[in-house]
Amino acid sequence: MVEQQKTYSIGKIAQLSNLSAHTIRAWERRYNVVTPLRSDGGTRRYTESHLKRFQLLGAAVDAGHRISDLVELDQAILAQLAGTVRTRAVDRQASNRKGEYVTLDPRSVTEAIGYAKELDATNVERCLGIQYRLLGASTFRTHFCRVLLTRVGTLWEQGEISMATEHLLSAALKSLLLRTFDASSTAANAPKVVFTTPDDEQHELGLLIAAGVAADAGAEVINLGPQLPADVVGRAVLKQHPFALALSMVNVPLGTQRAYVRRLRNILPDPIQIWLGGADARNDIAGCEVLGLEEMAARIREVVAVRASATS
């Protein structure tokens, strides 16, 4: 029964598989890649297994395979193919073995950084796009990004990458991370959570990761972006009246964090919670709480459940 399983709109499938709605429709029409369910009004609805198939097909196409060669393959073989790319695309050392296939996953981070070092934006985006599809948005954000950025941090400390390389990678990651929260797909009474960072906090990727986790847990994410003065945030929050304000602190001195939260607490009514996250978030600041990703997600799921039972 359609009603009993989770289904997705074509827009959501496009977002989660990194394909356009146009491509999805074309693949259905030309190659019959999946047969979508239909709502009462005749609109396409897709199941979890359809989503997985589009993600794998997209990744396999990105990896150099032709869609016409893929349509007959089952999920297991597709998964194998999607995890491989032609050697020329993986790394330079292997490129003399032209036409061979090699496993992508263990090298994906190295590969992305390699292209970024050459300032090859097209291939950086392609590599990250493949990982996004293969792993899914959630694992991409919580695992792949963390591993990649930790490596970038180490190389940066060792003076092995330039600022341009770091910026290229950050920009490519940011554009993928921004895709993963889409207000149109949240429930009408979802708890709103506003995300931002203080004036001098440029680090934004952790904020976007946290915002994605919040969206997955059922929150309506309002992302103000980084580096906002407390007064500006206070005014925006008063307008939106969210359940919580989530701040990311990666490189902010304790005194600044304290003053920032104090300023906000003076502006905001008590029921609006202030959550602090990020590697530098301090536990000993009055008027707010430090939360990890899991804790924040659990908090949001709890409110979602309470609101759902109140309306049913």
Site membership for ligand B12, residue 275 (CB under 6 A): yes
Classified as helix, coil or strand, 257 is helix
With tokens 């180490």, the residue in question is 154
244-248 and 273-277: which strand pairing? parallel
Q: Is 101 in the site for ligand B12 (CB under 6 A)?
A: no
Each residue 167-196 as x (binds ligand B12 by CB under 6 A) or -, in order, gives ---x--------------------------
Q: Which of 57, 70, 168, 296 binds ligand B12 (CB under 6 A)?
A: 296
* Residue number with CB closer to ligand B12 (95 or 175): 175
* Three-class secondary structure of residue 77 per DSSP: helix
What own/partner pairs with CB < 8 Å and gap ≥ 24 does 4-9 have? Answer: 5/47, 5/48, 6/47, 6/48, 7/37, 7/45, 7/46, 7/47, 8/45, 8/46, 8/47, 8/50, 8/51, 9/43, 9/44, 9/45, 9/46, 9/185
Instruction: Tell me, by CB under 6 A, how many residues bind ligand B12.
Output: 32
Least Å from the CB of residue 169 to ligand B12: 8
Residue type at 269 in one-letter notation: P
Find the shortest distance in angstroms from Cβ 203 to ligand B12: 4
Distance between CA atoms of residues 261 and 235, nearest Å: 14
Q: State the DSSP code for 73.
A: -
Phi-psi region of 119 (alpha: psi -120 to 50; beta: other; left: phi over 0): left
User: In terms of CB distance, is 62 or 204 closer to ligand B12?
Assistant: 204
Instruction: State the minimum distance, in angstroms, from the CB of residue 17 to ligand B12.
Output: 23
> What is the rounded distance in angstroms from the CA atom of residue 85 to the CA atom of residue 233?
45
Site string for ligand B12, 143-172 (x = CB under 6 A): --xx--xx-xx--xx--------x---x--
Instruction: Provide, rounded to whole angstroms, the least separation between the CB of residue 153 and ligand B12.
Output: 3
Q: In the complex, what is the shortest distance from the CB of residue 177 to ligand B12, in angstroms, rounded to a whole number? A: 10
Residue 196 backbone dihedrals phi, psi, to 5 degrees: -165, 180
**Minimum CB–partner distance for residue 49 and ligand B12 (Å):** 29
Q: Which is nearer to ligand B12, 30 or 146 (CB)?
A: 146
Instruction: Write phi, then psi, for 279 (nearest 5 degrees).
Output: -60, -25
Per CB under 6 A, the segment of 86-94, 100-108, 180-188, 198-206 that binds ligand B12 is 198-206
Query: Can residue 228 be called a binding residue for ligand B12 (CB under 6 A)?
Result: no
Fill in the amino acid letter for 294.
E
Between 63 and 249, CB nearer to ligand B12? 249
The CB-of-211 to ligand B12 minimum distance in angstroms stands at: 8
Least distance in angstroms from the C-beta of 281 to ligand B12:
7
Determine, following the binding rule CB under 6 A, whether residue 82 of this chain makes contact with ligand B12: no
- Show the tokens assigned to 59: 């990744």
Listed in order, strand segments (DSSP E) in the chain are 37-38, 44-45, 84-86, 101-103, 192-198, 220-228, 244-248, 273-277, 289-290
Interacting residue with ligand B12 among 119, 279, 305, 308 (CB under 6 A): 279
Stretch that binds ligand B12, among 11-19, 97-105, 183-191, 206-214 (CB under 6 A): 206-214
Spatial separation of the C-alpha atoms in residues 206 and 247, rounded to whole Å:
10
Residues near ligand B12, by CB under 6 A: 145-146, 149-150, 152-153, 156-157, 166, 170, 200-207, 209-210, 246, 248, 250-251, 275, 277-280, 291, 293, 296
